[in-house]
Amino acid sequence: MGDLTSRRGKVQGMDPLGGRTTIHAMVPEAELYRYAATLRSITQGRGHHERKVAGYEPAPPDVAKKVAKERAAAAAEAH
């Protein structure tokens, strides 16, 4: 769960069942890049994840500034 929260995730709940635990969380899609490999590493190959788009939320100010700066730089290079 610590890995999910470090990715700006919000844990919604946990369901233990038959020796396994399902974690329900909301995590920004941009933060899930290479998550499958990370999860396999954390769980010694036993973990897997599923994704569903649950909606959209505004990005935090620091993330929005970073994206705006990157887009401005890309636009400047294009001209």
How many angstroms separate the CA atoms of 33 and 58, rounded? Answer: 19
Task: For the full predicted model, state whether its pTM sits above 0.85.
Answer: no
Tens of pLDDT, residue by residue over 37-74, are 999 999 999 998 999 998 998 999 999 999 999 999 99
How many angstroms separate the CA atoms of 43 and 11, rounded? Answer: 18
The residue with tokens 């999910």 is: 4
Indicate the SS3 state at residue 18.
coil
8 Å CB contact between 15 and 24: yes
Tens of pLDDT, residue by residue over 5-47, are 899 999 999 999 998 899 999 999 988 888 899 999 999 999 9
Amino acid in position 39: L
Phi-psi region of 51 (alpha: psi -120 to 50; beta: other; left: phi over 0): beta
pLDDT score for 26 = 93
What domains does the chain contain, in order, with CATH numbers?
A: 2-78 (3.30.70.240)
